[in-house]
Structure 1
Amino acid sequence: MTRFHAAFENALEGRFDDLWPHLSADDRTLGAVAVYRNTATKGRIDALELNFPTVAQMVGSEWFRAAAREFVEERPGNDPVLAAFGAGFPDWLNRFEPAQEMPFLAPVARLDRAWTEAHLAQEANVLDLPLAARLGYALFGKPARLHPSVSLFWFDWTAPSLWLSHRYPAMASDLEWRPEPEGLLIHRRGAEVQARRLDRVEWTYLDACRQGRPFGAAALAAKGAAPGRDLTATLAELINLGVFETPEMARPAA
C-alpha cells in the first residue's frame, strides 16, 4: 500500500491530516471523500445484512441497518472480501445496548457467522465409510481432524432451534427461546453448507476430535456422556455426514 492509499484509507475513517500532502484541503476534496466514504459504508452495511440474514430477519431491515451503520463506523475494517466482513459483529452485538432486550441475537449472529465461515472454508479430502471400513480398528489409533468448514456449538438456551427455524425453515424447528441445552454442527459438504442439531454424545465425540485426539480416545470421551450408547453407530453416522478429513490428510495438532 502506498502512502497515498494509506492516507486515503485514514481519511475514510475521518482522519484527514495525512491526506493533505497529496490533495488540496478544499471543499471539493472533502466532498469527494465524503461520497466515497458513504459508498464504502453502504457497501459494508449491505454486506453485513447479507452475511447475517437470520439476525436481519429477526429484527427487520430498518433496525438491522441502523445497528450495522454503528458497527461499520466503529469497525470499518480493511478486508476487500465483503463476503467475509463482520467477524466481530456477534461480540459487538452482545455489547450493543439496544440489543440487550434480545439476548438471542448475539448467539444467532455467531451461527450466521459460522455459516459464512463454512461457505468460505478451504477444501479437504473427506473420510468416508468405505475408507473407514478398510482401516478397521486401525482408525481408532489415528488422530481425528475435523473438516476445515466444521463449527461446533453447545448452548444452554435453544439458540440452534431458533436459528434453524429461520435459516432452514424446512427443518421445522422450535421458535421459542427456552433455557434448554442444545448443540449444533455447521459444515459444508461439497458446495452446500449444512446444519444439524447434536445431542450431548455427538457433541462430546466431535469436541474431542476438534482437540485432535485419536478416534478411539474421542469414543471413550463420548462413552462417558452416555455409557449405554452404541458409539460404533454414532461414529458411522458422523463419518457419513462428511465432517472428518481423511487420516492421510490430517494436519498436525497445533
Structure 2
Amino acid sequence: MSAFHSAFEAALSGSTDALLPHLASDARTLAAIGVYRNTALKARIDALEASYPTVVQMVGSGWFRAAAREFALEHPGDDPVMVTFGAGFPEWLLTFEPARDMPYLAPCARLDRAWTEAHVAADAAAMTPAEAADLGVALTGLTMGVHPSVRLFRFDWTVPSLWLAHRYPQPPAGPLVWEARAEALMIHRTAGHVRARLLTPAEFAFLDACRNRRPLGIAADQAARLDRTLSIPALFASLIAADVFLTPEPEVRA
C-alpha cells in the first residue's frame, strides 16, 4: 500500500492530518473525505446487518444499526472483503452496555457468524454411503475428518432453540423459553445450503470426538456411554447423508 493510500485510510478513520502532505486541508477536501467516510461506514453497517440477521430480528433494525455503527467506528477492519468484516462482533456485544439485559444476544450472534463461516467454507469431497459400505468394519478403526463447513456448539442455555426459531422458523412444538438447559447444535453446509441441527448430548459427543480425530469406534463408545438407546449406525448414516464426513484418504503403505 502506498503512503497516500495509508494516509487516506487513516483519514477515513478520522485522522485527516495524515493527508496534509498529499492534499490541501481545505473545506472542499474535508467535505469530500467526509463523504467517503460516511460511505465506508455505511458499507460496514450494511455488512454487519447482512451477517447477523438473527440479532437484527431480536432487537430491530434501528437498535442494531446504532450498535453496528459503534462497533464499526471502534473496529473499522482492514479487509476489503465485507463478508469477513465483523468476526469480533459477538464478543464485542458482551461489552456493549445496551445489550447487558439481553444475555442471549452475543451467543446468538456467534451462531449467525458460524452460519456465514459455513457458507463460505472451502469445498471438500464428502464421504458417500457406498464408500462407507465398502469400508465395512474397518470404519471403527478410522479417524473421520469432518467437512470444513462443520461448526459444533454446546451451550448451558437454550441458545440453539432460540436461534433456530428465528433463523429457520417452524411451527413451535411448545413454548420457547430462555432457560438454563444445556443444548448442542451443528451448523454445516450440504448441497450448497447451510443447515442447522439440534444435537443430543450423545450425538454431540460422537461428533466432537470425530472432530478431534478420535477413531470412529472410540467416538461411538463415548456416545453410547451417554445414551445406550442411541443407534450409532443410524446416526452415522444420517451424518453421511448430510455430507458431514470427508472422503477417507487412501491408506499409504510403506
* Normalised-by-shorter TM-score class: over 0.9
Count of equivalent residues: 250
* Separation in 2, partners of 1:162, 1:212: 30
- Which is worse superposed, 101-110 or 137-146? 137-146
Q: TM-score, normalised by structure 1?
A: 0.93
Paired residues for 1:123-138 under 5 Å: 123-138=123-138
1:192 aligns to 2:186 (yes or no): no
Per-residue Cα deviation, 1:177-224 (whole angstroms, up to 9, x for no partner) = 111111111000021000110000110011111112222222222222
State the AA in 2 paired with 1:100: R
| SS of structure 1 residue aligned to 2:170 | helix
State the AA in 2 paired with 1:7: A
* Separation in 1, partners of 2:248, 2:227: 26
State the AA in 1 paired with 2:146: L
Matched with 1:12 is 12
1:141 aligns to 2:141 (yes or no): yes
Query: How many angstroms does 1:170 deviate by?
Result: 2.5
Matched with 1:205 is 206
Matched with 2:2 is 2
Matched with 2:222 is 221
Matched with 1:151 is 151
* Separation in 1, partners of 2:87, 2:102: 20
What is the identity percentage for the equivalent residue pairs of Structure 1 and Structure 2? 57
* Separation in 1, partners of 2:15, 2:250: 47
* Separation in 2, partners of 1:86, 1:175: 28
Q: TM-score, normalised by structure 2?
A: 0.93
Paired residues for 1:1-254 under 5 Å: 1-170=1-170, 172=172, 175-248=176-249
* Separation in 2, partners of 1:23, 1:142: 63
RMSD between superposed Cα atoms in Å: 1.6
* Separation in 2, partners of 1:243, 1:164: 19
State the AA in 2 paired with 1:97: E
The change in CA–CA distance for 1:139 and 1:119 in structure 2 (over 3 A counts) is same
